[in-house]
Amino acid sequence: MNIENLLTNDIADILIVDDVAANLNILGFILKKEGFKVRPVPNGMLALQAAEREKPDLILLDVMMPEMDGFEVCRRLKNDPNLNEIPVIFISALNDTNDIVKALKAGGVDFITKPFKAEEVMARVKTHLKLYQQSRILQEQSKKLQELVATKDKFFSIIAHDLRGPLGGFMSLTELLANELFEFTPAQQKEMNMDLYNSSKNLFNLLENLLVWARMQQGQIVFNPVQINLRELVAESILTLDDAIKKKSIRVSAQLPDQLIVFADSNMIQSVVRNLLSNAIKFTEKGGNVTLSQYLTENKTCVIVVKDSGIGMNCTMTANIFRLDANNSRPGTEGEQSTGLGLLLCREFVEKHGGEIWVESVEGTGTSFYFTIPDKTVID
């Protein structure tokens, strides 16, 4: 975004600090004429309060003021992590080299001596606004680059570690069956075949999540919201997890109205529900409980809750559960593989709908995942 865009689309907010009312009026007139938003304040303390209340894009700061001079105001601004990036231009009758150096050491980016000229003020203001905007753009690009690096690292971590483990176990089982099949009883063969089936299903789910996540990062997944019956969608998701549910004798119940209609992308919401249910089953002991329920907020937002009676998580794990750069993989109660990738997909899909997702958990007691679907229609 260039300076012209900054001034037309996002009107620059300039804070003027001077104890002389005439200077505030003159500077305000010059800047308002150019279309800037101007906030004049007569002293340093009010300037700090005004900056904290609403962060300006640039500050014009007088040096000689009672109680707190401009140097001290600037130093306090630069010591505040929320305000230290704001460019500060000093405007003062002082023109000694030592004063200018002192202003720059305090954190100022420029120094204009009084009496000032309108053309000089505008030229320097526009220059430093442009530099400030370019700095913000670079910071945003750096943040996105860090996210891309984290995405790449997560991708290779899954391939190198989380995918390699299940594949190794799968290969060992197939090798055992190929070389020593007749040494096993029919019951043992059946059990090993079931292990192979479960292993292949876990691998398939992992690969599916990995490919969907990669496509999501590249913007290749089409968002297609339609009216869907949430109870029916949940029933389908539970059915796909039937083997895991029966194996651990877990009681899964869906406490939803018969006709809860939501406006959402069916594939995305089903992926969210399936991943959260799978996660709950994975970290719940045999004979435990998993429930899926919903409630409506005051503004009619639909909140879906997946609650389990499982092993739970500590506060460190819950704080990092949706972070891409954190290692959230841990085995389930029966040694089930987990990468944390499914929860990242859940976050992506929920946020795509404009919703939120969060978790509450007590270690040793259980976990509840919540997510919202903002746009919905409820049919009684």
249-287 pLDDT per residue, tens: 999 999 898 888 888 988 889 889 988 998 999 999 999
Q: Is the pTM of this model over 0.85?
A: no
- Collapsing DSSP states into helix, strand and coil, what is residue 338? coil
- Which tokens is 293 given? 């329920």
What single-letter DSSP state applies at residue 160?
I
12 closest CA partner among 46, 55, 70: 55
Long-range contacts of 376-379 (CB under 8 A, 24+ apart): 376/261, 376/262, 376/263, 376/264, 376/300, 376/301, 376/302, 377/227, 377/261, 377/262, 377/263, 378/257, 378/259, 378/260, 378/261, 378/296, 378/300, 378/302, 379/259, 379/260, 379/261
Structure confidence at residue 325 (pLDDT) = 64
Q: Phi and psi (nearest 5°) for 252?
A: -110, 125
31 or 220, higher pLDDT: 31
Structure confidence at residue 327 (pLDDT) = 66
What is the four-CA torsion angle of 341, 342, 345, 350, rounded to 10 degrees?
-140
For the segment 227-253, the average pLDDT, to the nearest whole number, is 90
- Range with the largest mean pLDDT of 90-99, 201-210, 330-339: 90-99
Structure confidence at residue 18 (pLDDT) = 94
145 or 63, higher pLDDT: 63
Structure confidence at residue 372 (pLDDT) = 94
For the segment 100-120, the average pLDDT, to the nearest whole number, is 90
Radius of gyration of the chain (CA): 30
Structure confidence at residue 7 (pLDDT) = 40
The set of residues, in sequence order, having a beta carbon less than 8 Å from that of 29 and lying 6+ positions away, is: none
For the segment 125-140, the average pLDDT, to the nearest whole number, is 89
Q: Please determine, for residue 160, whether its predicted confidence score (pLDDT) is greater than 70.
A: no
Q: Which range among 4-8, 160-164, 299-303, 340-344 shows the weakest confidence by mean pLDDT? A: 4-8
Per the document, the length of the chain is 380
Structure confidence at residue 6 (pLDDT) = 44
Q: Which range among 116-130, 331-345, 359-373 shows the weakest confidence by mean pLDDT? A: 331-345
Structure confidence at residue 196 (pLDDT) = 79
For the segment 200-223, the average pLDDT, to the nearest whole number, is 72
Q: Please determine, for residue 377, whether its predicted confidence score (pLDDT) is greater than 70.
A: no
Most distant CA pair in the chain: distance in Å? 100
Structure confidence at residue 80 (pLDDT) = 93
End-to-end CA, the chain: 49
Average pLDDT score over the chain: 84
For the segment 343-360, the average pLDDT, to the nearest whole number, is 90
Structure confidence at residue 283 (pLDDT) = 93
The answer to whether the beta carbons of residues 91 and 116 sit under 8 Å apart is yes
Structure confidence at residue 159 (pLDDT) = 62
Structure confidence at residue 50 (pLDDT) = 95
Structure confidence at residue 149 (pLDDT) = 75
Give residue-wise pLDDT tens across range 4-61: 444 444 789 999 999 999 999 999 999 999 889 999 999 999 999 999 999 999 999 9
The answer to whether the beta carbons of residues 380 and 252 sit under 8 Å apart is no
Q: Please determine, for residue 102, whether its predicted confidence score (pLDDT) is greater than 80.
A: yes
